[in-house]
């Protein structure tokens, strides 16, 4: 049975991710095609609390159509609605103020990462808001979905950046430490390491002590740059979440090289940081965004709520959608698995760490 809705409200929250805009465009077009008005919330939960919104559909002849600004959004990075990390929404008073804004039969779609989906769940639990989530975070640290919007573009950007760094590193026979984003999850580092032909990869989930890490990296770099090897560069990918500062690693590796039997090789570092979060979304991110959008609208009009759209072939967990790659998973389950991903007790984290451990000797060859 289809549930009538007065409107669908959409917000993006937390760190932006390439493909958020493609999801927004998809949501607006699909909702308009079903005759449901769409309202955009400016600047995430902050805007919801303050009631800052703008219409994303308008009456056009007899029917409803997206506003013209919706066209061309798919190719834009960032978030056209604006996004924020809201402190006020973390309080129950803030959430109560936000819930009051959602007056009537309104479905809310939240596009964002862990904090955003936690907020969505709280709004549903505390105030009965009909909310669904779409996972978007370059960190790929959301439970129950194999991929989040933004990850593919971020990985492509890392690959391009490391290819460029490899050019200059090879010209000078240098070692480079490249730090990539990923505060609580080293996925970007792990997933990019093979593609960029890294000699070593560091991520928090390895759980190694500083001295052990530095000794191992020192071995790898001195071996890689040894004149007999003929290798032109050594590349270390480091996830942001690793406690050791990148500058400390560079100093330690430089010391090690200076004290080795050959001299002259130098170590440099590049922190890719926010560079990796911007840019035009890849085909894959746009495609996933569009399919999440369709499933989210279908979920709301079917009366579903407090769920996240997940990219995983339906395997009997969560509820299927008409798309064999998109499942609906209760937000409570998503958040519990996300916590396990972060603290390392998730089977997914353990599988990733074990796989990278098996690859270690291959990478450093």
Provide, rounded to whole angstroms, the least separation between the CB of residue 307 and ligand F6P.
22
Cβ nearer to ligand F6P, comparing 279 with 330: 279
Catalytic residue, candidates 16, 43, 139, 152: 139
Cβ nearer to ligand F6P, comparing 13 with 57: 13
The answer to whether residues 272 and 179 touch, using CB atoms and an 8 Å cutoff, is yes
Sign of the Cα torsion 345, 348, 349, 354 reads positive
Q: Which residue has the tokens 């010209």?
A: 171
**What are the backbone angles phi and psi of residue 326, rounded to the nearest 5°?**
-115, 125
**Chain residues that interact with ligand F6P, rule: CB under 6 A:** 15, 85, 113, 137-139, 181-183, 240, 277
Token duo for residue 227: 């004149």
Q: Which residue has the tokens 């000794």?
A: 215
Active site residue 139: yes
Q: How far apart are CA 119 and CA 116, in angstroms?
A: 5
**What are the backbone angles phi and psi of residue 8, rounded to the nearest 5°?**
-115, 130
Provide, rounded to whole angstroms, the least separation between the CB of residue 295 and ligand F6P.
23
Cβ nearer to ligand F6P, comparing 148 with 177: 148
Q: How far apart are CA 334 and CA 328, in angstroms?
A: 10
Cβ nearer to ligand F6P, comparing 86 with 327: 86
Provide, rounded to whole angstroms, the least separation between the CB of residue 175 and ligand F6P.
24
Cβ nearer to ligand F6P, comparing 275 with 353: 275
Provide, rounded to whole angstroms, the least separation between the CB of residue 334 and ligand F6P.
17
Reading phi first (left if > 0) and then psi (alpha if -120 to 50, else beta), residue 292 is in alpha
Helix H segments across 226-282?
A: 246-258
Provide, rounded to whole angstroms, the least separation between the CB of residue 274 and ligand F6P.
6
Residues involved in catalysis: 139
């Amino acid at each position: 049975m289809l549930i009538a809705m007065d409107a669908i409200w959409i917000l993006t929250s937390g760190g932006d991710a390439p493909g958020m805009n493609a999801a927004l465009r998809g949501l607006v077009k699909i909702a308009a095609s079903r005759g449901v008005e769409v309202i955009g919330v400016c600047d995430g939960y902050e805007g919801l609390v303050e009631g800052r919104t703008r219409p994303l559909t308008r009456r056009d002849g007899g029917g409803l159509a997206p506003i013209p600004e919706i066209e061309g959004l798919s190719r834009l990075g960032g978030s056209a609605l604006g996004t924020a990390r809201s402190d006020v929404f973390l309080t129950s008073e803030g959430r109560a103020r936000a819930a009051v804004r959602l007056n009537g039969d309104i479905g809310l779609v939240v596009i964002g990462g862990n904090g955003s989906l936690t907020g969505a769940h709280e709004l549903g639990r505390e105030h009965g808001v009909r909310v669904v989530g779409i996972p978007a975070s370059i960190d790929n640290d959301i439970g129950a979905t194999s991929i989040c919007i933004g990850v593919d573009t971020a990985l492509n950007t890392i690959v391009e950046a490391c290819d460029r760094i490899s050019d200059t590193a090879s010209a000078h026979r240098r070692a480079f430490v490249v730090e990539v984003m990923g505060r609580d999850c080293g996925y970007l580092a792990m997933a990019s390491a093979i593609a960029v032909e890294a000699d070593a990869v560091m991520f928090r989930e390895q759980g190694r002590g500083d001295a052990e890490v530095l000794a191992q990296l020192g071995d790898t770099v001195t071996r890689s740059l040894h004149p007999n090897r003929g290798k032109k560069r050594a590349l270390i990918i480091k996830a942001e979440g690793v406690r050791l500062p990148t500058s400390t690693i560079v100093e330690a590796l430089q010391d090690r090289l200076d004290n080795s039997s050959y001299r002259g090789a130098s170590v440099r570092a590049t922190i890719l940081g926010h560079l990796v979060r911007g840019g035009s979304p890849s085909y894959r991110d746009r495609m996933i965004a569009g399919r999440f959008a369709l499933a989210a609208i279908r979920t709301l009009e079917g009366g579903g709520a407090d769920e996240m759209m997940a990219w995983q072939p339906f395997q009997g967990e969560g509820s299927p959608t008409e798309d064999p790659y998109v499942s609906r998973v209760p937000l409570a389950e998503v958040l519990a698995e996300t916590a396990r991903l972060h603290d390392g007790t998730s089977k997914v984290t353990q599988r990733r760490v074990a796989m990278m451990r098996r690859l270690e000797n291959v990478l450093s060859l």
